[in-house]
Chain A
Amino acid sequence: MLTSLLLTAGFALMGAGIGAGIVAVGAGLGIGRIGGQAMEGIARQPEASGKIQTAMLIIAALIEVISLFAVVVCLLIALNGNLTF
C-alpha cells in the first residue's frame, strides 16, 4: 500500500522532469533549424541580413512559446507533486 503510494508520486515527478527535458529538445531542434536556415539566407544575400534577422527572431519567439506551454504543464505537476491520497 505504502509502496504503491510512493511509486505513484515518484512516477509523476519523474514524468515531469523527463517531460521538461524532452520539451527542451523540441525547442532546440525548432529554433536551431530556423537559425540554420537564417544563416544560409544571410550567406547567400548579405544585403538582406537585417530583414532575415528580424524574421528569425520573431519566429524563434513563437517556437519558444510552444515549448513553454509544455514547461508550464511540467511545472504544475512538479509543484503539486507531493500528492497525498
Chain B
Amino acid sequence: MSVILLTFSAAVMAASGGDEDKTSFIMHHIKDSHEWHFATIGHTHVTLSLPVIIYSSDRGVEFYSSSAFVDQDTHHFGVEHDGYYIDENDKLQSVDENRSFTDLSITKNVAMLFLILAVTFYLMLSASSYYKKHPNKAPRGIASFVEPIVIFVRDEIARPNIGPRYKKFTPYLLTLFFFIWIGNLLGLLPGASNLTGNIAVTITLAMITFFITNFNGNKDYWRHVVATPGVPLPLLLIIVPVEIIGLFTKPFALTVRLFVAITAGHIVILSFIGLIFVFESYAVGVASTLMVVFINVIELLVATIQAYVFTLFSAMYIGSAVAEHGHEH
C-alpha cells in the first residue's frame, strides 16, 4: 500500500516540474491581472497595459502604467518601479514592507466591468429613447430585444415572488439580471476577463441583496427570525441561532453558486484546450476542439440560467422580507 502511494507521489513530483506552466495558464486566464493579455502571436504579446493607481497617505495618489512593472525581455512582472513591484501572484506590493497603501488600479476585471456597463447602458438607453420617441407603438430594433426580457423579469420573477410591492424592487432585479447575464456572456469570449467568476464581484452582488432584504424587512420578517411564533421556548433556543445563521447562509449560497458555476465552466473549457498541448497530437486536437465547442454552448446556457437563478433567489428573499402577514398562527 505504501509502495503504491510512494509511486503516486514520486510520479507527481517528477511531473510537476513540467506541468507547472500547463496548469498555470489556466489560472492566468481565470485570475485578475494588471494588464489585459489578449493573445501571443509568435513572439509578440498583444497586451493592453492597464493603469496602476495607488493611494497612500504619505505620497497621495500616484498613476503608473503597468508596463513600467514589466520586464521587457521576459515579459513577466517583477520589475521594481518607484518603490512598488508586482509579485508572482499579480498583487501589487511595496518594496518597503511597512508602508500601507490602497491599490485602486484599473485591473482587467475593472476594465471588464466598465465594458459591461457600456453594453448595458447602450442597450437600456437605446430602448428607452425608442419608447420616448414612439410612445404607444410596438417596439422595433433594440427595444424589441429588451422588452420581452424586461417583461419576463417583471412578470415571472418579480411579481410572483414579491407580491403587491413588486414595483419598488423591479429596477434592482432588472439591473441584477442584465449585469450578471451580459457579464457571463461576455466572459465566454476568448480574451475576455472572468468578471462574474470573481468571488469579490459575486460577494458584492450578494451583499447588496442582503442589505436590500434586511433593510426592507417588516416586523413579521424579524419576528420570524428572532422569536419564531408558535414555537415552545426550549426549541426556540435552538431555532433562533439557526435562523440568524440562515440570514447569512443565503447570501453565501448566492455568492458561491455564481462564482463556482462560471469559474468551473471556464476551467473546463481551458482544461480541454490545455489537453491538446499536453498530448500534442492531431487526433486529440480534433476531439478536444469538438468538446470545447460543445461545452461552450452549454456554458451559454449556464450563463443565462445562473443569471436567472441569482435574480430569482434575490426576488424570493426580498419577497419573504416584505411579505404581509398572510398565514394564521
Contacts and interface: CB of A to CB of B under 8 A. Distances in A.
B9 A72 contact: no
A85 interface: no
Interface stretch (B99-107, B259-267, B273-281): B259-267
A7 B261 contact: no
- Classify the interface of chain A: helix, strand, loop or mixed: helix
A14 B8 contact: yes
B13 A82 contact: yes
Contacts of A22: none
A10 B264 contact: no
A81 interface: yes
B306 A61 contact: yes
Given A58-B309, A61-B309, A62-B309, A10 B261 contact: no
A39 to B, nearest CB: 19
Nearest to A9: B9
B261 A64 contact: yes
B2 interface: yes
Contacts of A82: 12-13, 16
A61 to B, nearest CB: 4
B8 A68 contact: no
Given A9-B9, A10-B6, A58 B261 contact: no
Nearest to A79: B23
A11 B8 CA distance: 9
- Classify the interface of chain B: helix, strand, loop or mixed: helix
Interface in A67-84: 68-69, 71-72, 75, 79, 81-82
A3 B6 contact: yes
Contact of B308 (A6, A58, A64): A58
A10 B5 CA distance: 6
A65 interface: yes
Of the listed residues B9, B23, B260, B302, the one surrounded by the most CB atoms of chain A closer than 10 A to its CB is B9
B297 interface: no
Contacts of A58: 305, 308-309
B261 A3 contact: no
B247 interface: no
Interface of B: 2, 5-6, 8-10, 12-13, 16, 23, 27, 256-257, 260-261, 263-264, 267, 301-302, 305-306, 308-309
Interface of A: 3, 6-7, 9-11, 13-14, 57-58, 61-62, 64-65, 68-69, 71-72, 75, 79, 81-82
14 contacts: A3-B6, A6-B5, A6-B6, A10-B8, A13-B8, A57-B305, A61-B261, A61-B305, A61-B309, A65-B261, A65-B306, A68-B264, A72-B260, A79-B23
Which 8 A/B pairs are nearest by Cβ-Cβ distance? A10-B9, A61-B305, A10-B5, A68-B264, A68-B260, A10-B8, A6-B9, A9-B9
